[in-house]
Structure 1
Amino acid sequence: MSDNAITFPPQIGFDQTERHVHLAFGMPFNALSCAVLNGGFQAVDHIVNLKVPKEACTDEKPAMTLNRYCLQQGWQGMAAGMMTAASMKSLRIRQRRIEGVDVMALVTTGLSNARRAGDPAEWRTLQPVCLDHDTINIILISTARFTPSAMVEAIMIATEAKAAALQNATIKSAVSRAIATGTGTDAIIMACPKEGKPRIEFCGKHVLMGEVIGQLVIEAVTDSIRWELTAT
């Protein structure tokens, strides 16, 4: 499904500007993520992907920057937030409906920070001083209720799918020159309703939900990479 054919479910609000991609939930949603603002397993009202300057080193912690931005926008409630130096124009959305369930993947892409898992890290300390924010950020949304373990599995499938898309595009690590598996600062959020049916317990490669998530992420990352390479 192309981006211009995307229809968000009625319980999910969406807006996109030059500064952000924002989702608002009209009902309680659970989110599992590595987001810098309210990461981990959280009940959320909003998800935001915020554009920031590349290598933006300030005294303000990223979570504080994101929280301040959410307050300025008037977004009430709990927000899970990610940052990226990538253009919001790189956003690509893919959607599938299965047995009345909507599944969506939203992706923004920056590639100057491409890395392969296991590459030597620049910061030889457990507390980095400053990070490049050119990222591949992924938001997974489903209107089905996932168990926590199925949410972990969905994130695993999406991460493998991202790596597959980078392999297909022959994107190379800026460090090792081997095929990249992501960037140095990628983030991912998976969100679904806290209540309701159907209840998804499994999301691996042998089940339909895992297949669909893998396909949607490969398609969205591939198209977002294509935009990024053309734009730069």
Structure 2
Amino acid sequence: MFPLAPLCGEPSPRELLNIEGKLVKAVCPFYFAEQACAPGQISGPGDVARPFSFWTVPPMDPSQQLHQPAFTVCSEPGWLVAAFDRPQRLLSWSINRPGFQQARRVAWTQVRDSDLPVEVDAAEFLAARLLKKGLGDAIGLMTSGELNAEREAIVSGGVRAECLVTLGLSNAERVGQRFTALALPQRTGTINMLCHVSTPLSDAALIEAISLATQARTVAILDFGYERVLGAGAVTGTGTDCVVIGCPVGSLPARFAGMHTLVGEILGATVLQATRRAMRQWLDRQGAAAS
């Protein structure tokens, strides 16, 4: 698992980079000075506002910027926040800010099944929780699964792609089938994913990119052949999954981001690797819980 920035301690994260086709492990220039996750604040116990600590990237030579993470990640119990230095173009079906948006932050929040009974409006619940934590402008993602994230970055041909994913399949489905209609014991899980490419993309290219990322995520899941119902076929995701795709705001955006493009190729590879690692971690946890 990619180590996340703690609220204290000395992290020593490493990032797997694919540089011009060569896999190398490099110390990630990800964590240097501790600072507040500006401009918002996270409310602590008793609604006492306090900063969400994280480790940020120092200034770097422009030639090295592709090897600098596009976003920093900070975490505390029940929360995982990815923060960009400046607003990015983002596209998702997040329930609080769906569609094309500009935002600096994407926030995961962990919920209990009891937080969302049938009579509670999930969108209103999420908006209120984000606002209370000083994250009202963030793209919000919810899960009742564990916030164990996997992160991957690939650099090739002057383009960088990144993926941050949390994965749980306790309520998994196979497309075209609905296992939740069966009387199966379950604890809701979700696959939530943030993807980012360093190249500005047009609206059409962002749509193409989110489609490609979803395809890559599904392929990675299918590779494991995990069946929730024996003999029903491998699951393809859950009914509460969300993908967020982002890129810089810029002039002359790329018009295409499909599988015939460099952007599409490295985005797909990044999502595949991150999702496969997340899937292995989840299956390992299920095995440990059953033993």
TM class, shorter-length: 0.7 to 0.9
Q: Which residue of 2 aligns with 1:142?
A: 197
1:102 has 2:160 as partner: yes
Judged with a 3 Å threshold, the aligned counterparts in structure 2 of structure 1 residues 226 and 55 are, in CA distance, closer, same or farther, namely: farther
Contact residue 54 and residue 134 of structure 1 kept, 8 A: no
1:113 has 2:171 as partner: yes
Q: In the TM superposition, what whole-angstrom CA distance separates every residue of 1:11-57 from its partner, at most 9, and x where no partner exists?
A: 63321223122122332211110111111111223211211114643
Give unmatched runs, 5+ long, in structure 2. 4-12, 16-27, 31-67, 287-291
Calculate the TM-score normalised by the size of structure 1.
0.84
> How far apart, CA to CA, are the structure 2 residues paired with 1:11 and 1:88?
20
1:26 has 2:85 as partner: yes
> How far apart, CA to CA, are the structure 2 residues paired with 1:182 and 1:222?
13
Calculate the TM-score normalised by the size of structure 2.
0.68
Q: Which residue of 2 aligns with 1:156?
A: 211
Q: Which residue of 2 aligns with 1:38?
A: 97
Using the TM superposition, give the Cα deviation of residue 166 of structure 1 relative to its aligned residue in structure 2, in angstroms.
1.3
Q: In the TM superposition, what whole-angstrom CA distance separates every residue of 1:89-143 from its partner, at most 9, and x where no partner exists?
A: 2x100001234433111111101111111114757xxxxxxx9741111111123
Report SS of the residue matched to 1:200. Answer: coil
Greater relative contact order structure (CA < 8 Å, 6+ sep): 1
Q: In the TM superposition, what whole-angstrom CA distance separates every residue of 1:46-84 from its partner, at most 9, and x where no partner exists?
A: 2112111146433442222322232232236x2211111
1:13 has 2:22 as partner: no
1:93 has 2:148 as partner: no
Identity %: 28
1:66 has 2:126 as partner: yes
Contact residue 17 and residue 88 of structure 1 kept, 8 A: no
1:170-185 correspondence to structure 2 within 5 Å: 170-174=225-229, 177-185=232-240
Contact residue 171 and residue 180 of structure 2 kept, 8 A: no
> How far apart, CA to CA, are the structure 1 residues paired with 2:165 and 2:237?
13
> How far apart, CA to CA, are the structure 1 residues paired with 2:190 and 2:230?
16
> How far apart, CA to CA, are the structure 2 residues paired with 1:80 and 1:35?
7
Using the TM superposition, give the Cα deviation of residue 173 of structure 1 relative to its aligned residue in structure 2, in angstroms.
4.3
* 1:166 partner amino acid: I
Contact residue 206 and residue 245 of structure 2 kept, 8 A: yes
Contact residue 11 and residue 27 of structure 1 kept, 8 A: no
Size of the aligned set, in residue pairs, is: 222
Report SS of the residue matched to 2:165. Answer: strand
> How far apart, CA to CA, are the structure 2 residues paired with 1:204 and 1:72?
39
Pick one of 242, 249, 252 that aligns with 1:187. 242
Report SS of the residue matched to 1:211. Answer: helix
Judged with a 3 Å threshold, the aligned counterparts in structure 2 of structure 1 residues 28 and 2 are, in CA distance, closer, same or farther, namely: closer
Using the TM superposition, give the Cα deviation of residue 87 of structure 1 relative to its aligned residue in structure 2, in angstroms.
0.7
